[in-house]
Structure 1
Amino acid sequence: MERAGIDESFVRDLVRDQHPDLADLEIRPVPSGWDNQLRRVGDELAVRLPAKLTEVFESRLEAAAEAVDVRRIQQVWSRAAAAPS
């Protein structure tokens, strides 16, 4: 049962962003409860997400994405500062 825009595409994007090495694994739904949705990632892994993307969860996802962007920017600045002038 698909709820709240959590579909294979959404899960695949999350996996690709956080674990590019797993991006080619099959993603398939498995029976889930009211509170969570489960997706198998390959034969050995699973992704568990809230059944409903609440505003709180969406804001946490946005904050996590921003944190990743900040870390990437800091890495670039660190490399630039360390490079000989």
Structure 2
Amino acid sequence: MRYTRLTDPLVRENGELRETTWEHALDRAAEGFQRNLDKHGPDAFGMLSCSRATNEMNFIGQKFVRSVIGANNVDSCNRT
């Protein structure tokens, strides 16, 4: 089986994936985050990162979780 890389974002509508714009896809993702926050609060969100991620990537990820989401649920496997 050959896998190909996605070049355009996809959104699911009525059970089917369809191509969309990056702006629409990011808006949908933001709406999903907000819906989850409104329903369950910030402690329902967590972020895991990879030990192969750069310090800068880990920093921006934890900054997003703490500043935007309002949670401290951040972990990585950098300690291994």
Structure number with bigger Rg: 1
Q: Which has the higher contact order (CA 8 A, sep 6+)?
A: 2
TM-score (norm 1): 0.30
TM-score (norm 2): 0.31
